[in-house]
Chain A
Amino acid sequence: MGRFWALFFIVTAVITFVVSWISPSMGWWFPTDGVAVFGMAQSTLGRKIDDLFYLILWIVSVTFVATNVALGYALWRGATIKPEEKVWFSHGSHSLEVIWTIVPSVILLFIALYQLDVWAAYRVRGFIKDSDGKPKQIVAVAEVTARQFEWRIRYPARGKTLKPIPQADDIYTVNELHVPTGDLVSITLRTDDVQHAFFVPELRVKQDAVPGKLIPVWFDTLVTKDYEMLCAELCGWGHYKMKAKLVAQSTEDFEAWKDKVSEEQFDDGYRKPAE
């Protein structure tokens, strides 16, 4: 019976590992528009986050396998020990303890320090740099206001910059955020009521919208397409209703779209009477 139980735990670990291994091909992996198998991030910072994820995944997988091999072996040995055999009478081993303290701590410290850069680029102005090392220009495109249960977005009129308070010629949309592809854009995130979070899975961007705070969030988009945008912080019964889209389009299209929305928004409804 002991062998059965040892196998039981070994098989569990194997299944766990196999399931994780096949998940990407089953579509249980990063969201994708159907093109990429692994659902690569569509933003520069997102790619870096993905790299980190896979790095940690490797480290964790190796640890998982090693730990479970050790555990499985120990269980198997414990199950098959002969009645006359003696147990390994040991209170521990100082050198082993030292080894398995130092090795993981080195790995963990490496993980911790290795990713500070990405975090800084994500949250600290000036840490996101061009290829030539200069801080990248951040373009403020819109003010995104979360409310129960929708996103209301305010853009400056064409050729103007985003002002902290509304202007008469501002453009408004709801649940539809347009940004120019490729540019490092920032939005000012705020909320009208409770806490929300701005989340664009394919860009790996997420930031809480905290009552009483204006939080800048910056990101770029690598591909011209529509991205899903949603709320990631419980904001009430309609939390799941905050479905929106982020439209990345070329700068020309973006400006043209702004013109179009502006025209619609200032429509006075006058139509030439039919003859």
Chain B
Amino acid sequence: MSTLHPTIDHAGHADHGGHGHAPSFFFTYIWSTDHKMIGKQFLITTLLMMMVGGGLALGVRWQLARPWERMPLFGDAVFASEGGQISPEAYTMLFTMHATVMIFLVIIPVLAGAFGNFLIPLMIGADDMAFPTLNALSYWFMWPAIAFFGASFFMHGGGPAAGWTGYPLLSLLREAAPGSRDAQTCWLLGLTFVGVSSMMGSVNYMTTIINMRAPGMTLFRMPLTIWSMFITAILQAFALPVLTAAGFMMVADRLLGTCFFVPAGIVVNNAPPTVGGGQTLLWQHLFWFYSHPAVYIMLLPAMGMVSDMLACMCRKPIFGYKPMVYSMAAIAGLGFIVWGHHMFLSGMNPALGMTFMVSTIMIALPSAIKTFNWIGTIWGGRIQFNTVMLNCTAFVSMFVIGGLSGIFMAAVPVDIYIHDTYFIVAHFHYVIFGATLFGVFGGIQFWFPKMFGRMMNETVGKVHFVLTFIGFNCTFYPMHMLGIAGMPRRYADPYHFPYLEHLLPMNQFMTTAAFLMGFAQFLLLGNFFLSIFFGPKCGRNPWHANGLEWSAPSPPGHGNFDIPPVVYHGPYEYGSPVSGEKDYLMQTEYVPLAQRVALEDH
């Protein structure tokens, strides 16, 4: 193999951005088909949406800490003549929209949309996505969704209030709740647009990863981030059509009276009885057939990113690369046959409950393997305790809690008790916030230099991390206890049940912590936006990392690589004996055959 060894010196003639004219502002920043710009658009949009979703969550927490008292801002504005005391349907709207915004406009798009877009071509050595226009469209389809979700707040009756799961008949019959009027239709349409956006992304990611890898980038030389994005894309491609179909069926039920999900003879609010012929359980099956895999869509990319960051920050190879890949594949595969565990108590066939329980419990296995491998990666490393590493460690340690609490609810008999209590709320916040979002915070800090050519501030980053981490644990850990104490979810006022009265002080503590955590996010925003302009400039590879993206300029120009990259080995050769004076070995660095034995050449 007499390949050239591309180094910076050869870069002179290979300036890829050889376009005759500079694109206009509009085509650079707004209607860009450049995957990096789209990734940044996704990232900034989702960061702003995160603040919206967080604000809604603080409304929920306020009501739980001070039920039926004045709620500042929201209550003052909307319920002035009631003295700022919100109405119960406003509470249901708050938690419904909190979940909707956080899941569909923050977590899913920030992982697949922002990081997927930005990283996939850079990490596999491609100059852009396979379908750049489709890619741009996938971002722009977010906006109708945001518009529909936003508009739903202003519908007569307030925003949708049937929970993010939108179970019929509450969500389906117009008369069932104030929020189930036009707001729910808006919500369903918004959901459809999010779905279409994700679908376009997922098709693109799969094609790009399969077809556009750089020479030498075999499947098992791909960074785990790419593997996770690949698996996520497959999950989305198979699961999403089901949700889209279900959404359309629901819209048809609402607007055309098709009754897919409506049994006969139901009277709500003295409206005429329903014609019927349908089954409400059908929605639950269809919804969870997507939304359970969606849980992994919300987790797998973060797992991949954290694996990459951990290896880099511990300056040693990832522990058990192939088991990591296989366990992600196993999670994805098993993820398709566990949706029924959301429905143990829905009155479906009990035998089905048993099957779903076994598959659900077994899905803990690949998660456990991954956790052990992360600890193996940290073990014996030279840990760089910077913001990236702290967030990644938080990811691992929070994922341990979130994963272990999942075992309780996977066990059906125990789930009988904790189903729809705060235990569930604790569990999924530990997974989605504790794991994914900390992974995302780490990822932002880690790849920010590649995105903008500047570093983010370390001090602010650490303060943000500490506040968020403490606020997060103080908010969500007590929820396990609330759940065990039997406090149901989605109660505007749990305290008029005598057995829950004593939990008020605990909820007030949690609310204080939640506000701390909420305000800490301004630090992230401040750090992010100020660093774009004021951060210290950095070189190509500030972290001394191995991935292909670090061989491109920071920020990479149009077409990404000034030297077409060629890959010689996997991305995790940190601290390798063959790398000489430095402790990293970039994927583009050629290692003579004799020395290559020391590397695990995937």
A interface, CB within 8 angstroms of B = 1-2, 5-6, 8-9, 12-13, 16, 19-20, 23, 27-31, 45-46, 48-49, 52-53, 56-57, 59-60, 63-64, 67-68, 70-71, 74-75, 77-79, 81, 85-93, 96-97, 100-101, 104-105, 108-109, 111-113, 115-116, 118-120, 122-124, 148, 192-195, 197, 199, 201-202, 204-208, 210-213, 215, 228, 230-240, 243
**Would you mind naming 10 contact pairs between A and B with Cβ atoms under 8 Å apart?**
A63-B404, A81-B382, A89-B316, A97-B320, A108-B365, A212-B276, A231-B488, A232-B419, A236-B161, A237-B492
B385 to A119, Cβ gap below 8 A?
no
If A71-B396, A112-B358, A119-B350 touch, whether A234 touches B490 (CB-CB below 8 Å) is yes
The 5 closest A-B pairs by CB, nearest first: A212-B263, A88-B380, A78-B383, A92-B320, A201-B486
Neighbour of A193 across the interface among B87, B176, B497, B572, CB < 8 A: B176
How far apart are B505's CB and chain A's nearest CB, in angstroms? 11
If A87-B575, A97-B323, A195-B280 touch, whether A67 touches B266 (CB-CB below 8 Å) is no
How far apart are A82's CB and chain B's nearest CB, in angstroms? 9
Bound CA–CA A234/B170 (angstroms): 8
How far apart are A272's CB and chain B's nearest CB, in angstroms? 40
If A60-B408, A199-B488 touch, whether A243 touches B496 (CB-CB below 8 Å) is yes
Bound CA–CA A16/B414 (angstroms): 22
CB closest residue in chain B, given A10: B397
Neighbour of A119 across the interface among B397, B413, B477, B576, CB < 8 A: B413
Bound CA–CA A112/B281 (angstroms): 25
Neighbour of A89 across the interface among B88, B411, B576, CB < 8 A: B576
Within B372-413, which residues are at the interface with A (CB < 8 Å)?
A: 372-373, 375-376, 378-383, 385, 389-390, 393-394, 396-397, 400-401, 404-405, 407-408, 410-413
How far apart are A128's CB and chain B's nearest CB, in angstroms? 12
Q: Which residues of B contact A93 (CB under 8 A)?
A: 319-320, 376
Q: Which residues of B contact A211 (CB under 8 A)?
A: 168-169, 262-263, 266, 280
Interface readout for B162-205 with A: 1 if CB under 8 Å, 0 if not?
11000111100100111000000000000000000000000000
B492 to A240, Cβ gap below 8 A?
yes
B163 to A30, Cβ gap below 8 A?
no
Bound CA–CA A92/B322 (angstroms): 9
If A20-B480, A97-B323, A210-B281 touch, whether A228 touches B497 (CB-CB below 8 Å) is yes
A87 to B314, Cβ gap below 8 A?
yes
B346 to A9, Cβ gap below 8 A?
no
Bound CA–CA A115/B163 (angstroms): 31
How far apart are B500's CB and chain A's nearest CB, in angstroms? 8
Interface readout for B11-36 with A: 1 if CB under 8 Å, 0 if not?
00000000000000000000000000
Bound CA–CA A203/B350 (angstroms): 20
Q: Which residues of A contact B263 (CB under 8 A)?
A: 211-213
Q: Which residues of A contact B506 (CB under 8 A)?
A: 28
Q: Which residues of B contact A63 (CB under 8 A)?
A: 404
B378 to A78, Cβ gap below 8 A?
yes
Interface readout for B415-452 with A: 1 if CB under 8 Å, 0 if not?
01101110000000000000000000000000000000
A90 to B473, Cβ gap below 8 A?
no
B416 to A204, Cβ gap below 8 A?
yes
How far apart are A51's CB and chain B's nearest CB, in angstroms? 9
Bound CA–CA A52/B412 (angstroms): 10
A108 to B364, Cβ gap below 8 A?
yes
CB closest residue in chain B, given A236: B177
A67 to B321, Cβ gap below 8 A?
no
| B362 contacts chain A at the CB level, 8 A cutoff | yes
Q: Which residues of B contact A78 (CB under 8 A)?
A: 314, 378, 380-383
Bound CA–CA A232/B281 (angstroms): 17
A23 to B481, Cβ gap below 8 A?
yes
If A77-B379, A239-B492 touch, whether A210 touches B347 (CB-CB below 8 Å) is yes
A236 to B170, Cβ gap below 8 A?
yes
CB closest residue in chain A, given B316: A87
Q: Which residues of B contact A64 (CB under 8 A)?
A: 400-401, 404
Bound CA–CA A16/B477 (angstroms): 8
How far apart are A71's CB and chain B's nearest CB, in angstroms? 5
Bound CA–CA A108/B263 (angstroms): 39
B88 to A237, Cβ gap below 8 A?
yes
A89 to B169, Cβ gap below 8 A?
no
Bound CA–CA A235/B421 (angstroms): 15
How far apart are B450's CB and chain A's nearest CB, in angstroms? 24
Bound CA–CA A246/B60 (angstroms): 30
If A100-B369, A108-B361, A208-B346 touch, whether A234 touches B385 (CB-CB below 8 Å) is no
Q: Which residues of B contact A12 (CB under 8 A)?
A: 397, 469, 473
How far apart are A117's CB and chain B's nearest CB, in angstroms? 9
| B371 contacts chain A at the CB level, 8 A cutoff | yes
CB closest residue in chain A, given B486: A201
Interface readout for B236-263 with A: 1 if CB under 8 Å, 0 if not?
0000000000000000000000000011
If A60-B408, A90-B316 touch, whether A213 touches B397 (CB-CB below 8 Å) is no
A52 to B413, Cβ gap below 8 A?
yes
Q: Which residues of A contact B268 (CB under 8 A)?
A: 148, 193-194
CB closest residue in chain B, given A216: B347
Interface readout for B475-487 with A: 1 if CB under 8 Å, 0 if not?
0011011101110
CB closest residue in chain B, given A63: B404
A208 to B347, Cβ gap below 8 A?
yes
CB closest residue in chain B, given A51: B413
CB closest residue in chain B, given A114: B411
Neighbour of B420 across the interface among A91, A212, A232, CB < 8 A: A232
Bound CA–CA A60/B368 (angstroms): 12
A67 to B350, Cβ gap below 8 A?
no
CB closest residue in chain B, given A3: B385
If A64-B400, A71-B375, A112-B358 touch, whether A236 touches B92 (CB-CB below 8 Å) is yes
How far apart are B360's CB and chain A's nearest CB, in angstroms? 8
How far apart are A84's CB and chain B's nearest CB, in angstroms? 11
How far apart are B575's CB and chain A's nearest CB, in angstroms? 4
Within B254-298, which residues are at the interface with A (CB < 8 Å)?
A: 262-264, 266-269, 276, 279-281
Neighbour of A104 across the interface among B368, B380, B485, CB < 8 A: B368
CB closest residue in chain A, given B380: A88
Bound CA–CA A195/B176 (angstroms): 11
